[in-house]
Amino acid sequence: MRVRRPAFTLEQIRSFVEVAETEHVSRAAANLFLTQAAVTQQVRHFEKAVGLQLLERDGRRIRLTDAGRSLAEACRGALRAVQVMDDTAKAIRELAAGSLHVGASPTCATYYLPAHLAEFTRDHPAVKLEVAVAGTSELNRRVLAGSLDCALVEGEPDPALASAALALDEMVLVAHRDHPLSQLKRVTAADLGRHRYVTRGPEFSAERHVRQLLGDAYERVEMMVLGHPEYVRAATIAGLGWSALPRRAVAEDIRLGTLATLPTPPIVRTIRVVRRHAQGGPAQEAFWTMLTGGAAAASGKISSDGWGRS
């Protein structure tokens, strides 16, 4: 089968991606160790080759057009694929080299990923690590696009991806010990709906569980949206409202009596790792095997206090 040769070069893709990420030609040029003129020329040649306007000026900055945003992620995936090829060649030659690009949701990045990255680096110290923290839907998209090798998510994996269950994460409803809800022996959805709810935001996967818990009251409850779980925790400690947080995040606050768990059933969700079905580079395969190679993980069993191990 004869493959048509593309009209653009790898250098043009690399220049476009760097400009897209920095939104500045001079910064992109500095990062690539090229002149501004060279970067500008590379991007112009790339736009001509694909027949699309990818960038436009916004004052002193450069911003992506709609076409540029769509193509930028594919270009990142292409660069990652080239890097995987280079990693594979190095690993074959040296038996110890490469890179690993991992994504993680904020909860996974805080409580599940670090110890296992440390274990991986002890076995593979020459592998360069990069971690991206984002929500589950964004991580699914980036793994599908190929710009991430795999990702740890607390929401639902994309059906097009391979996934493995790693642990159970328990979320509890909490409030400051002096909050009115903390004084109740029984808390209903109506009770929760009468008090401010401190949340990461409706786009995060945990919100689906809270929505189910509150039912119709969810649409009426006053919300304070803070984005990151640590911001939510701090606001809850300050008494600004009640929240739903991983038990791991508030265990010490509960032990000290600063926060009280509300008398509602805990929300249990599965922590999963996702990847593309296709064979990846040596570092990706080694990391995947480390996470999912235990007997418990292989049989589909998971535990609530760690990774899928007995």
- CA dist., res. 87 & res. 188, Å (int): 55
Residues 158, 277: one domain? yes
Tokens describing residue 163: 């996934």
Neighbours of 171 (CB within 10 A): 22
Residue 304 lies in a domain: no
Domain span at 109: 75-166+270-298
Q: Contact, 98 vs 90, CB < 8 A?
A: yes
In a domain, 1, yes or no: no
Q: List 128's β-bridge partners, or say none.
A: 99
CATH number at residue 34: 1.10.10.10
Residue 239 and residue 156 share a domain: no
If we measure between CA atoms, which residue out of 214, 259, 215, 219 comes closest to residue 235?
Answer: 259
Non-local CB neighbours of 179 within 8 Å, separated by 6+ positions: 195, 239, 241, 242, 260
Backbone angles phi, psi at 275, to 5 degrees: -155, 170
User: Residue 173's domain is classified under what CATH number?
Assistant: 3.40.190.290
258 with 277, same domain: the answer is no
Q: How many domains does the chain have?
A: 3
Of 98, 94, 97, 103, give the one whose Cα is nearest residue 84. 98
Task: Give, for all 310 residues of the chain, the pLDDT tens digit.
Answer: 555 677 888 899 999 999 999 888 899 999 999 999 999 999 999 999 999 999 988 777 888 999 999 999 899 998 988 888 887 777 655 546 678 999 999 889 988 999 889 999 998 888 889 999 988 889 999 999 999 999 999 888 999 999 999 999 898 999 999 999 999 999 888 899 899 999 988 777 778 888 888 888 888 889 999 988 889 999 999 999 999 999 989 999 999 999 999 998 888 889 999 999 988 888 888 899 999 884 333 333 333 333 333 2
Which DSSP letter does residue 201 get?
-
Contacts of 61 (CB under 8 A, 6+ apart): 23, 24
Distance of CA 252 to the CA centre of its chain: 25
- What's the predicted TM-score (pTM) here? 0.62
The answer to the question of residue 5 being in a domain is no
Which among 56, 73, 90 is the end of a domain?
73
**Same domain, residue pair 261 and 279:** no
Residues 290 and 206 reside in one and the same domain:
no
Q: Beta strands 128-133 and 99-104: pairing type?
A: parallel
Which residues are bridge partners to 129 per DSSP? 100
**Strands (DSSP E) found in the chain:** 55-58, 61-64, 99-104, 128-133, 150-153, 162-176, 197-199, 223-225, 243-246, 259-261, 267-275
User: Is the residue at 104 inside a domain?
Assistant: yes
DSSP characters over 238-301 = TTS-BEEEEHHHHHHHHHHTSEEE-SSPPEEEEEEEEE-SS---HHHHHHHHHHH-SHHHHTT-
